Amino acid sequence: MITIIVQTVSRIMIPFIQLFGLYVIMHGHISPGGGFQGGAIFAASLILLTLTFELAEAEKRAPFRMLIAIAVSGALVFTGIGMLGILFGGYFLDFLVIPLPIPPADVSELMIVSIEIAIGVAVMALLIIIFFGMAEEVFE
């Protein structure tokens, strides 16, 4: 039963949910949270959009092929940063050997933040892909 009350409330709520998801992703290295949690919260906001409006509306905001590209590039960034360690003569996922002109701890922090963002984006796209793939016939 989708009424105008539900649509109005979710239209107000969704930006705040997305903002909270981005906050959880970006502050994962300072406060509780991280890529998985923030990605799940962001995905939940788009799923709420699908439930209260139509599936076509949500797919217009987040096209299917774009989601697949986002998911694959997130996973590739994670493994690519891992491969940088091998490239500069260390182990897989070894951040301390990457030669940047800043202290090693700062290099590690930069890589950790990049990986958080990659994980968050990938998990967001993957959860929405799973939901769209399953819900395709139900919501038409």
Total site size for other proteins, rule CB under 8 A:
48
Least CB distance to other proteins at residue 11 (A): 19
Binders of other proteins in range 12-31 (CB under 8 A): 24, 28-31
Least CB distance to other proteins at residue 70 (A): 12
Single out the residue of 6, 14, 22, 129 in contact with other proteins (rule: CB under 8 A).
Answer: 129
Residue in this structure with the two tokens 């930006």, named with its chain if needed: 15
Contacts for 98 with CB less than 8 Å, ≥ 6 apart: 84, 85, 88, 107, 111
Q: Which is nearer to other proteins, 2 or 130 (CB)?
A: 130
105: number of CA atoms within 13 Å, CB side?
A: 0
What single DSSP character describes residue 51? H
Residue in this structure with the two tokens 């500069």, named with its chain if needed: 88
The answer to whether residues 27 and 3 touch, using CB atoms and an 8 Å cutoff, is no
How many helices (H) and strands (E) the chain has is answered by: 5, 0
What single DSSP character describes residue 91? -
**Per-residue binding letters, 74-113, with other proteins (x by CB under 8 A):** -x--xx--x----------x-xx------xxxxxxx--x-
- Residues in contact with other proteins by CB under 8 A are 24, 28-34, 36-37, 40-41, 43-44, 47, 51, 71, 75, 78-79, 82, 93, 95-96, 103-109, 112, 115-116, 119, 122-123, 126-127, 129-131, 133-138
